[in-house]
Amino acid sequence: MSSGLPERIGRWVSRPVTVAALVVPLLTFAVLLQVLKARATPTTPQTQQLYLSSGAALGRMALSFDSVVADVYWIRAVQHFGGTRRSDRGEKSYELLYPLLDLATTLDPRFDIAYRFGAIFLTEAYPDGPGRPDQAVALLQKGVQHMPERWQYLMDTGFVYYWWLHDYPEAARWFQRASTIPGAPRWLQSLAANTLAMGGNRQDSRALWGQIHETADDEWLRAEARRRLLQLDALDDIDRLMSEAEQFSVSTGRWPEAWSALVETGRLTAPPVDPLGHGYVLGSTAQSVTASAESPLAPLPDEPPGVVTP
């Protein structure tokens, strides 16, 4: 037994070379089997679950680590929003977005960005978002409750009423309330007055996004404001292109079948492109001009009937 198997194993494991010679192939074999197993049994993506929905209970369980748990829920909210938005599965469900944001802000009531970005995520129209301005308003109100000194939440609430709900008297009321908070910019007062007097015209929308772009603390918010400003430019372009197409239609008795028809008659110098360089789509049957589906600017925002264009 003195030169038996246990002794030989003892000798092997005492030499680094033999250890490496055994460990590397064994690990490689394990990885290979795992790859084969994954290919043989493709897993269906799991539906996301929220095991705990009570922020108060979660806060107690987190002991001193509420902020870290809040960060985890924030990252989950961002992943849920981005992942669902980019998924190519037919039905997109954003049903966990509000509960995740609600948990993040309950665990860390001063989580500023979770209120502001969260409201933007929630208002995005389906399929790019859940299209729930009501939830966005609820989230922002929670922020106001915890940080009444933040005029930004009041302005954002007004903005949801302005941009998404087209409820201009209510929007004006929130802009007015925001303007009374110490430290709020003076332009909020004139914005409130304009909103009340004129209802959403595109010039006011441009001014509003321009101010958000100028005053936002965060690069993501600034980028979102830039995108919205470009969407407004695209809406102006579409109005102009529709006018050209209609004039062509009046003079020739037919709707142009392609941009080339307008180019050939000298109404356009080239097929038109949006501010990001994607071509506009000329509808042949619906007599419409829209942004290309591939453009990051699509879909363009809805405007209320009778909107006053500059």
Partner 1 sequence: MSAVRAIAVHVVRESVRDKVLYNLILFAVLMISASYFVGLLSAGQEVKIIKDLGLGATAVFGLLIAVFIGIGLVSKEVERRSIYTLLSKPVRRHEVVLGKYCGLVLTLAVNLAIMAVTVYAVLGYMSVTGSEEFRRGLEAPATDPAMLKAFFLIFVQLMLVAAIALFFSTFCGSLVAAGLTVGLYVVGHFTADLRSLQDVVDAPVAGFVAMGLSYLLPDLAAFDVSADVVHAQPVTIGYILLTVGYAFAYIGALLVGAMAVFSRRDFT
Positions that interact with partner 1 (CB under 8 A): 60, 63-68, 70-71, 74-75, 78-79, 108, 110, 112-113, 117, 216-220, 222
242-253 burial code (b ≥16 CB/10 A, e <16): eebbeebeeeee
Cα-Cα-Cα-Cα torsion 195, 232, 206, 145, nearest 10 degrees, comes to 70
Instruction: Compute the least distance from the CB of residue 109 to partner 1, in Å.
Output: 9
Q: Is the dihedral of CA 87, 91, 92, 93 positive or negative?
A: negative
Token pair listed for 198: 């004129």
Instruction: Compute the least distance from the CB of residue 71 to partner 1, in Å.
Output: 5
Q: Which is nearer to partner 1, 185 or 279 (CB)?
A: 185
Instruction: Compute the least distance from the CB of residue 66 to partner 1, in Å.
Output: 7
Q: Which is nearer to partner 1, 71 or 244 (CB)?
A: 71
Q: Which is nearer to partner 1, 8 or 110 (CB)?
A: 110
Q: ∠ CA(165), CA(171), CA(176), 5° rounding?
A: 170
Instruction: Compute the least distance from the CB of residue 29 to partner 1, in Å.
Output: 28
Instruction: Compute the least distance from the CB of residue 146 to partner 1, in Å.
Output: 11
- Identify the CA nearest to 192 among candidates 183, 39, 285, 207: 207
Token pair listed for 298: 């699509």
Interatomic CA distance for residues 280 and 292, integer angstroms: 6
Instruction: Compute the least distance from the CB of residue 227 to partner 1, in Å.
Output: 15
Q: Which is nearer to partner 1, 70 or 282 (CB)?
A: 70
Token pair listed for 295: 């453009």
Q: Which is nearer to partner 1, 117 or 280 (CB)?
A: 117
Q: For residue 268, which amino acid is it? A: L
What radius of gyration, in Å, describes the C-alpha atoms of the chain? 28
Interatomic CA distance for residues 242 and 232, integer angstroms: 15
Q: Which is nearer to partner 1, 74 or 259 (CB)?
A: 74
Q: Which is nearer to partner 1, 113 or 300 (CB)?
A: 113
Instruction: Compute the least distance from the CB of residue 139 to partner 1, in Å.
Output: 15
Residues 6+ apart with CB under 8 A from 129: 81, 85, 94, 121, 122, 123
The H or E element that residue 250 is part of is helix 219-252
